[in-house]
Amino acid sequence: MSPLSLDLSPDLFPALTEAQADPDGPGAHRPALHFGDRSLTYGELAATASPLAARVAEAGRIAVWATPTLETAVAVVAALLAGVPAVPLNPKSGESELGHIVSDSAPTLVLAAPGTQLPPALAALERLDIDTSAPTTSLPSPGAPDPESPALIVYTSGTTGPPKGAVIPRRAIATTLDALADAWQWTGDDVLVHGLPLFHVHGLILGILGPLRRGGSVRHLGRFETAGVARELSEGATMLFGVPTMYHRIAETLPDDPALAKALARARLLVSGSAALPVHDHERIAQATGRRVIERYGMTETLMNTSVRADGEPRAGTVGVPLPGVELRLTEEDGTTAVEAYDGETVGEIQVRGPNLFTEYLNRPEATAAAFTEDGWFRTGDMAVRDPDGYVRIVGRKATDLIKSGGYKIGAGEIENALLEHPGVREAAVTGEPDADLGERIVAWIVPADPQSPPTVDELADHVARRLAPHKRPRVVHHLDALPRNDMGKIMKRALTHD
Ligand code: MCA
Ligand code: AMP
């Protein structure tokens, strides 16, 4: 592992500052953001984001309607320039999820692309349109914010209850992006392509703020499609970020798409994260392209913890080694005794400590306290072993009530609560089961209120999608006469099987 000097300076985007200071200099003409045929250079981004920063500077906290567009990137950059915390909102969130996030985070303003219709849950908020069309002269940025101050509040699911807002300070963003730059030899010459959503850490922090911190550029696909990946990689993009579902779809397409294989073979780095990439997909991609996908491991609360390094040995099925600055340990069942073994066999819970960590769950001091050990280690809930040379292999999760589907973390409890609000459902339990495309798919086990006319899978999927979000909808529904319960009345999820 190479040493890393932690840059805690409040300037998150030196290339943007330079373009602002010298609008006619070469740095100002470098490309920064591309979304389809719309793009901004660093000079244009500075000129667009800085007046917006001035307009939001007095807002306590802002929400950003995080469509996969240029507007979202500009709005988040403006918030960071202003030192105002931003809450990215999933534009597909349903009414109850959105209502919760808005009342919990209490933004004073919502920033959205002009012409976008916002749902009733946001009606009480003042709206500010993000204008990317008419860059004016760049204004000086407001004073340099404290590195510990909150930059983003990202909502993430737990096993029960509604999502919690992870408060991510500027310091964590700067240090995680610099640690990745070290691990991946990521520079301003890199051009990243991806089609990830912009309301989570992966797509927003790594996928938009990452290239901007390096002074490089990103080409966002709007939505993920293998054709877009092939096009951008054959036209100069150097890196691809994706969740395993995206790499699975690439692996499925490769046998019939030599242009995609050729494009992937040219890439400098193919990175997968947010969930485990099955070894079978690793191997299919390696065979068709001669290139190995590398994995990194992170979490909303911790940003990035480990990665296979660009100068290290790629090893399918592992998430590599701890990033510079990140302390990682495995612990025994008690959550405090460290596992010393590096034997590829002894399983422990991953705990991490370092400047990459979040500060707290917004308005949830008890949940925050429970997430850390007394000496400040964050309990990830992920179970792993370590190879003799330190490579980490994730082998499972502590909580079976957390489902990863398409790279999204989904709590069984929130779906159960939503299902119970449907008049046709008397009892509900939710589990995840293996799915070749999504990693895991959501399965609902329900006791219908009227066994003669149980609600259909489509009815329940629509109900959950409308309330929570489409990616939280059940894909399979089983009807039961009763849920299996133990003597205490607790549902025995392990007894829920097909037959
Ligand atoms: C379907 N749809 C519906 C319904 N059914 N809408 C309303 N009601 C319904 N009943 C819509 C969906 O909204 C979607 O619309 C379309 O139909 C297809 O949905 P679906 O099949 O669910 O998904 P997909 O489009 O096939 O998406 C697969 C995907 C996606 C592209 C891989 O899952 C994805 O983007 N995943 C990324 C997750 C991610 O970024 N995770 C990072 C968090 P439409 O077609 O309009 O979209 S983890 C993280 O950040 C940590 C730090 C880390 O380590 O990275
Ligand atoms: P989230 O809370 O949505 O940020 O998801 C974080 C979780 O995603 C982690 O706790 C892991 O369970 C999982 N995860 C992220 N990256 C990987 C990876 N490369 N391999 C396996 N699991 C991963």
Q: What ligand has the least distance to the C-alpha of 180?
A: 1
Beta strands in 225-363 (DSSP E): 239-242, 269-272, 294-299, 303-307, 321-322, 327-331, 348-353, 360-361
Dihedral over alpha carbons 116, 119, 124, 130 (to 10 degrees): -20
> Is residue 305 helix, strand or coil?
strand
Residue whose C-alpha is closest to residue 416's, from 405, 429, 433: 429
Q: What is the pLDDT of residue 252?
A: 98
Q: What is the pLDDT of residue 133?
A: 80
Q: Does ligand 1 lie within 6 Å of residue 300's CB atom?
A: yes
Query: Binning pLDDT at 50, 70 and 90, where does residue 303 land?
Result: very high
Structure tokens at 223: 């939505």
137, pLDDT greater than 70: no
> Is residue 407 helix, strand or coil?
coil
Q: Does ligand 1 lie within 6 Å of residue 461's CB atom?
A: yes
Average pLDDT over residues 143-168: 92
CB 432 within 8 A of CB 403: yes
Place of tokens 């449907």: 422
Structure tokens at 170: 């500027």
Residue whose C-alpha is closest to residue 196's, from 225, 231, 167: 225
- Give the whole-angstrom CA distance, residue 442 versus residue 405: 7
- Give the whole-angstrom CA distance, residue 499 versus residue 497: 6
* Proportion of the chain above pLDDT 70, given as a percent: 96
14, pLDDT greater than 50: yes
Query: Binning pLDDT at 50, 70 and 90, where does residue 424 land?
Result: very high
Q: Which ligand 1 atom minimizes the distance to the CA of 465?
A: 8
Q: What are phi and psi of 260, to 5 degrees?
A: -65, -45
Q: What is the mean pLDDT of the chain?
A: 95
List pLDDT tens digits, range 265-279: 999 999 999 999 999
CATH number of 14-392: 3.40.50.12780
Query: What's the CA-to-centroid distance between 362 and ligand 1, angstroms?
Result: 25
Average pLDDT over residues 100-116: 97
Minimal-distance CA residue to ligand 2 atom 5: 299
List pLDDT tens digits, range 186-232: 999 999 999 999 999 999 999 999 999 999 999 999 999 999 999 99
Q: What is the pLDDT of residue 83?
A: 94
* Alpha helices per DSSP H over 240-387: 244-253, 258-266, 279-289, 365-371
Average pLDDT over residues 257-270: 98
Query: What's the CA-to-centroid distance between 357 and ligand 2, angstroms?
Result: 15
The pTM for the full model equals 0.96
Beta strands in 313-455 (DSSP E): 321-322, 327-331, 348-353, 360-361, 378-386, 392-397, 402-405, 408-411, 425-435, 439-448
Residues contacting residue 167 through CB under 8 Å, at least 6 positions apart: 85, 150, 153, 358, 359, 360, 361, 362
Q: Does ligand 1 lie within 6 Å of residue 435's CB atom?
A: no
Q: What share of the chain is helix, strand, coil (3-state, %, to 5)?
A: 30, 25, 40
- Give the whole-angstrom CA distance, residue 294 versus residue 286: 11
- Give the whole-angstrom CA distance, residue 269 versus residue 218: 14
Query: What's the CA-to-centroid distance between 199 and ligand 1, angstroms?
Result: 12
- Give the whole-angstrom CA distance, residue 382 versus residue 377: 13
Backbone region of residue 322 per phi and psi (left: phi > 0; alpha: psi in -120 to 50; beta: other values): beta
- Give the whole-angstrom CA distance, residue 202 versus residue 196: 7
CB atoms within 10 A of CB 283: 13
Q: Does ligand 2 lie within 6 Å of residue 302's CB atom?
A: no
CATH architecture of 400-495: 2-Layer Sandwich (3.30)
Q: Does ligand 1 lie within 6 Å of residue 201's CB atom?
A: yes
Average pLDDT over residues 329-335: 96
Choice from 98, 281, 471, 473 to test ligand 1 binding pocket (greatest atom count within 8 A of CB): 471
- Give the whole-angstrom CA distance, residue 348 versus residue 336: 10
Q: What is the pLDDT of residue 400?
A: 87
CB 393 within 8 A of CB 318: yes
Residue 169 host element (H or E): strand 164-169
Q: Does ligand 2 lie within 6 Å of residue 300's CB atom?
A: yes
Structure tokens at 42: 């660093």
Beta strands in 308-363 (DSSP E): 321-322, 327-331, 348-353, 360-361
Q: What is the pLDDT of residue 228?
A: 98
- Give the whole-angstrom CA distance, residue 265 versus residue 350: 34
138, pLDDT greater than 90: no
Q: Does ligand 2 lie within 6 Å of residue 264's CB atom?
A: no
Burial of 42 per CB tally in 10 Å (0-12, 13-18, 19+) = buried
- Give the whole-angstrom CA distance, residue 193 versus residue 271: 11
Q: Does ligand 2 lie within 6 Å of residue 78's CB atom?
A: no
Residue 473 CA: distances (Å) to CA of 7, 415, 428, 453, 458: 42, 8, 14, 21, 9
List pLDDT tens digits, range 347-395: 999 999 999 999 999 999 999 999 999 999 999 999 999 999 999 999 9
Q: Tell me where in the chain the CATH 3.40.50.12780 domain(s) lie.
A: 14-392
Q: What is the pLDDT of residue 10?
A: 66
Q: What is the pLDDT of residue 136?
A: 64
Q: Does ligand 2 lie within 6 Å of residue 349's CB atom?
A: no
Query: Binning pLDDT at 50, 70 and 90, where does residue 143 land?
Result: low
Q: Tell me where in the chain the CATH 3.30.300.30 domain(s) lie.
A: 400-495
Place of tokens 């073979």: 265
Residue 35 CA: distances (Å) to CA of 67, 68, 430: 11, 8, 37
Place of tokens 């939001």: 56
Integer-rounded Cα radius of gyration of the chain? 23
Structure tokens at 379: 């309990």
Q: What is the pLDDT of residue 430?
A: 97
Residue 174 CA: distances (Å) to CA of 101, 169, 205, 283, 356: 25, 9, 10, 33, 8
Name 410's bridge partners: 403
Sheet with 327-331: strands ordered across = 327-331, 348-353, 378-386, 392-397
List pLDDT tens digits, range 317-328: 999 999 999 999
Q: Residue count of the chain, please give it.
A: 499
